[in-house]
């Protein structure tokens, strides 16, 4: 009886704790919708995004490998969350058999890219490593060449989705990345900075401790920790502060150095 009572109390305490947490931690990588095909199609139309569907089965080894090693990648997540409504479906359960027949699926995993009107653009049968999967996802978007994207940016195109795609396409050592990054964040309202895609941009690309987006994060740290977890925010803050310190020393920027040191060594303030 005591044993049963202790179990019930444990369950109750977990329920109370869950209710006390304002946000569930955001998923790493691709955010998949947990609804149905009809709702996914409607959301794609509303948000003017393509659709990506991962068609899998519970017994498929390559499906499990993709779920663990590719769909969890941060760059993959940023690309897909920025451009697609993402959906996973076990093709042997629920509406899976019907969709399998509708889309002509005979092997797993099969990953299908659609436009916002749910017309098939591309199919990929079998798993792919991260770099090849990113290329396949960009190919389905029919993105212009990097040179064309740079030309459009220089002519003044500042659409947020376009800027994120340009950031992903630019080589890591391209000096233009800072300019594109600043254009992206300057186009956002403050309350948008804690949303999933802007937060992933903060994590993937170099911002510094004096940038408006980072200052907003520090002022609203509790909000970010509630959404993404304390450990992830601490890692982001330390990474940005250390990168800013290196930048300050290289450029002899005393203001940047002072702020970075104050964040890394708060007890010395």
What is the band of 256 on the pLDDT scale with cuts at 50, 70, 90? very high
262 inside domain: yes
107 inside domain: yes
Q: Give me the domain span that covers residue 97.
A: 32-141
Strands (E), the chain: 32-33, 50-56, 84-90, 110-114, 120-125
For residue 16, the Cα-to-chain-centroid distance in whole angstroms is 29
36 and 129: one domain? Answer: yes
CA dist., res. 218 & res. 233, Å (int): 10
13 inside domain: no
119 inside domain: yes
Name the DSSP class of 266: G
Name which residue leads in pLDDT, 6 or 81: 81
Burial (CB < 10 A; 0-12, 13-18, 19+), residue 41, is middle
Specify the range with the lowest mean pLDDT, choosing from 2-16, 117-131, 159-173, 191-205: 2-16
Strands (E), 169-250: none
- The whole-number average pLDDT for the span 30-44 is 96
Is a pLDDT exceeding 60 seen at residue 194?
A: yes
CATH value at residue 85: 3.40.30.10
- In percent, how much of the chain has pLDDT > 90? 80
56 and 134: one domain? Answer: yes
Q: Which distant-in-sequence residues (6+ apart) come within 8 Å of 243 by Cβ? A: 206, 208
Structure tokens at 234: 């601490």
72 and 159: one domain? Answer: no
pTM: 0.82
């Amino acid at each position: 009886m005591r044993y049963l009572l202790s179990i019930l109390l444990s369950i109750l305490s977990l329920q109370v704790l869950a209710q006390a947490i304002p946000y569930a931690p955001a998923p790493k990588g691709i955010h998949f919708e947990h609804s149905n095909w009809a709702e996914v199609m409607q959301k794609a139309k509303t948000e003017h995004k393509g659709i990506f569907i991962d068609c899998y089965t519970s017994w498929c080894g390559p499906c499990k490998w993709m779920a663990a090693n590719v769909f969890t990648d941060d760059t993959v997540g940023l690309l897909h969350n920025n451009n697609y409504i993402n959906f996973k479906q076990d093709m042997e359960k629920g509406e899976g058999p019907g969709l399998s027949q509708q889309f002509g699926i005979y092997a797993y995993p099969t990953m299908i890219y659609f436009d916002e009107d749910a017309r098939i653009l591309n199919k990929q049968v079998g798993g792919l490593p991260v770099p090849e999967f990113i290329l396949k996802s960009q190919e389905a978007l029919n993105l212009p060449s990097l040179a064309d994207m740079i030309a459009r940016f220089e002519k003044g195109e500042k659409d947020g989705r376009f800027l994120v795609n340009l950031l992903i396409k630019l080589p890591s050592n391209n000096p233009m990345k800072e300019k594109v990054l600043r254009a992206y964040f300057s186009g956002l309202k403050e309350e948008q900075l804690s949303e999933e895609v802007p937060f992933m941009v903060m994590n993937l690309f170099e911002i510094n401790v004096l940038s408006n987006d980072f200052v907003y994060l520090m002022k609203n740290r509790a909000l970010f920790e509630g959404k993404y977890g304390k450990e992830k925010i601490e890692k982001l803050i330390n990474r940005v502060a250390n990168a800013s310190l290196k930048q300050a020393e290289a450029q002899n920027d005393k203001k940047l150095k002072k702020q970075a040191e104050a964040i890394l060594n708060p007890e010395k303030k």
